[in-house]
Amino acid sequence: MEVPYRGHGVRHVCPKSDGRSVCLCGVAGESGSRLRICQTSRSGVRANEHSDRGAAPPQIRDIGIEALDEDAGKYRLTINDYAVDRAAGAEPFFFWKTEDGYFSGFSDDYTSVEFVANPGTSGKSLEISAYVGDNLGYIGFKTVAVQGSRISHQDGVQLQLTSQPAELKGWDRYDIQYDARLIFGGKVVPGTSVDIYYTVDGTSWQPVTSGLISGNRYTWLVPNVNAGNVRLKLVAQNGAYIKSIESDVFSIAPSYYIEGKVLDKAGHGASGVSVSAGGAAVVTDSDGSYFIKVTGPGTYSVQASKTGVGFVKSSFDVTLDGKNYYDTKIFRVK
């Protein structure tokens, strides 16, 4: 699977097809580059057809493991030492994979993650793999093992979604409302925390937020995707007690938009230029950028104008649909 990456810290869904893996990914590199990633191997190195530059493959030499809560199977894993061939122009990106739990937190560059074992895995050795890849096409990995969670209690934990989404819109803000509590002897035990995840394909879960203690709602910025098999997962935990639930399946319809820049004769951003499409108009900002949110699929005429200024091409036709719900157009001053 080929994915674009733009700048440091981009995440994507691991394209493994076994339906059981949780993947957390980070990318660093030159804007607009493309790379085939997430090909797995037990050999420690995987090179694809782009790896023809004679560079040394990346390596992960050491992963530190810190037990945050052994009973709960919570660990912090950190890549302490790795190598990429920077002399050959290699820039690293990192991602993690496991089939035995999920990731509840991560550093900005994805060299450190928090892992939570699946409940009821006491006595089992759980594998977590860390990967380092580069923009030359190489991927190396290292696998470590931790002990499973001794937590399997659900008795006393009350967890329910008090709102069920039906159809959401990309970039909307949706209140996830829930009730989470631990009750013993008819009394509420304080300290129940809630982690929230979502999936757009039914298998790969991405974190929304974690460690919610007080309150019974979280305002979610809905991702701008076109997906019909979306679910939310809530995980409530209080000490040695844990329970998880999933929402009904719902859909997300994308928001449609057109973006781009207006460049002057020297190739610099031109500010103050009016750009319009679909009845909406904006003015370019200080670096010449513009962003127009349009109503939905269809063909739009995107036009640039400014008094006394001519353009190499002052209008473009853009067609948006469910697979291509945004486009980028560049205008140049002549």
Question: All domains of the chain, ordered by start, with CATH?
Answer: 2-147 (no CATH), 157-253 (2.60.40.10), 256-332 (2.60.40.1120)
Position 323 pLDDT exceeds 70: yes
Highest mean predicted confidence (pLDDT) among 17-26, 203-212, 309-318: 309-318
Position 310 pLDDT exceeds 90: yes
| Residue 224 and residue 135 in contact, taking contact as beta carbons nearer than 8 Å | no
CA distance 287 to 270: 6
Higher pLDDT residue, 48 or 207?
207
Tell me the mean pLDDT in the region 17-30: 42
Residue 65: per-residue pLDDT: 96
What is the secondary structure of 183-208 as a DSSP string?
EETTEEES--EEEEEEESSSS--EEE
Alpha helices in the chain (DSSP H): none
CA distance 297 to 109: 36
245 contacts: CB under 8 Å, gap ≥ 6: 159, 160, 161, 233, 234
Position 64 pLDDT exceeds 80: yes
Distance between alpha carbon 104 and the CA centroid of its chain, in Å? 13
Position 296 pLDDT exceeds 80: yes
pTM: 0.54
Higher pLDDT residue, 149 or 188?
188
HSE value, Cβ hemisphere, 13 Å, CA-based, for 178:
29
Position 218 pLDDT exceeds 90: yes
Q: What is the mean pLDDT of the chain?
A: 82
The pLDDT tens digits for 155-178 are 688 999 999 999 999 999 999 999
Residue 104: per-residue pLDDT: 75
Residue 152: per-residue pLDDT: 56
The pLDDT tens digits for 264-290 are 999 999 999 999 999 999 999 999 999
Higher pLDDT residue, 290 or 151?
290
The pLDDT tens digits for 105-120 are 789 899 999 998 876 6
| Residue 217 and residue 195 in contact, taking contact as beta carbons nearer than 8 Å | no
Position 318 pLDDT exceeds 50: yes
Helix (H) or strand (E) holding 55: none
91-105, 167-181, 320-334: segment of lowest average pLDDT: 91-105
Higher pLDDT residue, 11 or 250?
250
